[in-house]
Amino acid sequence: MFDLLAVTLSGEPVTEPAGQTETLDWQWRGEGILELSPRVPCDTAVVISAGIHGNETAPIELLNQLTGELLSGARALRVRLLVLLGNPPSMRLNKRFVDEDMNRMFGGRHARYTPNDETRRAQELEQAMALFYRSATAAGARQRFHYDLHTAIRGSLHVRFGLLPLQARPKSEAMLAWLNACGLDALVHHRSPGGTFTHFSSEVFQADSCTLELGKALPFGCNDHAQFTGIRRGLETLVSGEPLPARETGEPLVHYRVVQDVIRSKEDFHLFVPAGALNFTPFKKGFVIATETGKTYRVEEEEEGVLFPNPNVAPGLRAGLMLVKM
Ligand SMILES: O=C(O)CCC(=O)N[C@@H](CCC(=O)O)C(=O)O
Ligand SMILES: [Zn+2]
C-alpha cells in the first residue's frame, strides 16, 4: 500500500502517481501532496496539513496513519480530502525550516523573500490548495475546511489549543463544534492578518480554518500517541462523515484574543520572558515583555498570557503573542 510519509521522506519520484481502492480514487499531486476522492457524492472539501514545520512530527505521524487507514479501506472516506506534508526537506532534517519559516510566507508573501526552497514550496502549496478547492467545488462541495496541524516549541499550560485566523465573517458553528469535540483546551483568536497557511485558506478560499497545536515538538518515533486520541477521533469523524465524538475532558474550552503581536524588528531585540515559561503563562500589567531600539513592549492589560515567545526569529517576524481571556 502507498505509504505517504515513507514516499515523501524518500524524496524518490513516484512511479505510479494515481490509484484506486474499492471506495476511493487517489492522486499524487506532487511531493507530499495527496488527493483522495470518494466514489460517493459529497458536499465537503477538507484540507489537512502537517509538517509545515519539519520538526513537528506527531501531527505528521497522525496524518500518515489516518491516510493509511483510508487507503487500506479500514476507514470510509466521505469528503474530498487533500493531505499535505508541508516541508519535506525540513522533515528529513528534523528542523523547523531549512532557510526561512514557511508559515510566514503564505498569501503571496513568499514573493517578498529571496527565492529558496521554502518560498517555492509555499507557492506550490498555495497552488495545490487552489486547484483542490476549485475542483471540489465544481464537483459539488459546498463546505471547505482546513486544519493545519502543529506542535509547539515550548510546553503549554493549555496543552492542546487552536489558533483561529482573523476573518471578517463569523466563525462557523460547525468548525467550533468540531474543535470543542476534539477536546482542545483553548482557542486563540488572531486580531491581525498573517502569513500563516490558515490565514491564507480562510481569506482566499473562505475555508473554515484553524491551526491546531497538539503538544510539544519531538523527533519522529518519540511521540506518545496516547496524547492525541481526541484530535485523532475528531479527524476520523471528519473524514468519514460520522457524528461528532463526545468531548472527553470535563473542562470547558477557554477563549483568548490576541492583544499584542510582539515583532522583532531590530537586531538588538531582547525578550524578558523567562526561557522556561510555558505558553499561556500570565504576566501582570507593566511587565516589560521585550525591548529593542525605539520600542518597548509592556503588558498593557491587568494580565496578559504569553504565547510562542521566541527571541531567535528573523528580524521582521513575530517573536511572541500576548493574549487576554475573552
Ligand atoms: O512554539 C512556537 O513557538 C511556534 C509553534 C508554531 O509553529 N505555531 C504556529 C502558529 C500559527 C498561527 O498563528 O496560526 C506558527 O508559529 O507558525
Ligand atoms: Zn509549527
Write down the ipTM of this complex: 0.97
- pLDDT computed for residue 145 by the predictor: 98
- pLDDT computed for residue 159 by the predictor: 93
Closest ligand (CA of 101): 1
- pLDDT computed for residue 12 by the predictor: 92
- pLDDT computed for residue 222 by the predictor: 83
The residue from 126, 213, 292, 304 that is catalytic is 213
- pLDDT computed for residue 311 by the predictor: 94
- pLDDT computed for residue 248 by the predictor: 83
Domain-by-domain residue ranges, the chain?
A: 4-240, 260-325
Topology annotation, domain 260-325: OB fold (Dihydrolipoamide Acetyltransferase, E2P) (2.40.50)
With beta carbons less than 8 A apart as the criterion, state whether 4 and 33 touch. Answer: no
With beta carbons less than 8 A apart as the criterion, state whether 47 and 129 touch. Answer: yes
> Nearest-CA neighbor of 79 among 148, 139, 8, 162?
139
Q: Is 53 labelled a binding residue?
A: yes
CA 187 distance to own-chain centroid: 13
- pLDDT computed for residue 64 by the predictor: 97
Same fold, 4-240 and 260-325: no
Topology annotation, domain 4-240: Aminopeptidase (3.40.630)
Ligand 1 cavity residues, CB under 6 Å: 53, 103, 150, 152-154, 163, 196, 198, 211, 308, 310
What is the rounded CA–CA span in Å between residue 182 and residue 177? 9
Q: Is 225 labelled a binding residue?
A: no
Three-state DSSP at 128 gives helix
What is the rounded CA–CA span in Å between residue 42 and residue 26? 16
- pLDDT computed for residue 250 by the predictor: 80
pLDDT tens for the chain, residues 1 to 326 = 789 999 999 999 898 899 999 999 999 999 999 999 999 989 999 999 999 999 999 999 999 999 999 999 999 999 999 999 999 999 999 999 999 999 999 999 999 999 999 999 999 999 999 999 999 999 989 999 999 999 999 999 999 999 999 999 999 999 999 999 999 999 999 999 999 999 999 999 999 999 999 988 888 888 888 888 999 999 999 999 999 988 987 899 999 999 999 999 999 999 999 999 999 999 999 999 999 999 999 999 999 999 999 999 999 999 999 999 99
35 DSSP β-pair partners:
27, 82
6 DSSP β-pair partners:
none
With beta carbons less than 8 A apart as the criterion, state whether 77 and 23 touch. Answer: yes
Q: Which atom of ligand 1 is nearest to the CA of 53?
A: 7
CA of 50 to the centre of ligand 1 (A): 12
Q: Is 304 a catalytic residue?
A: no
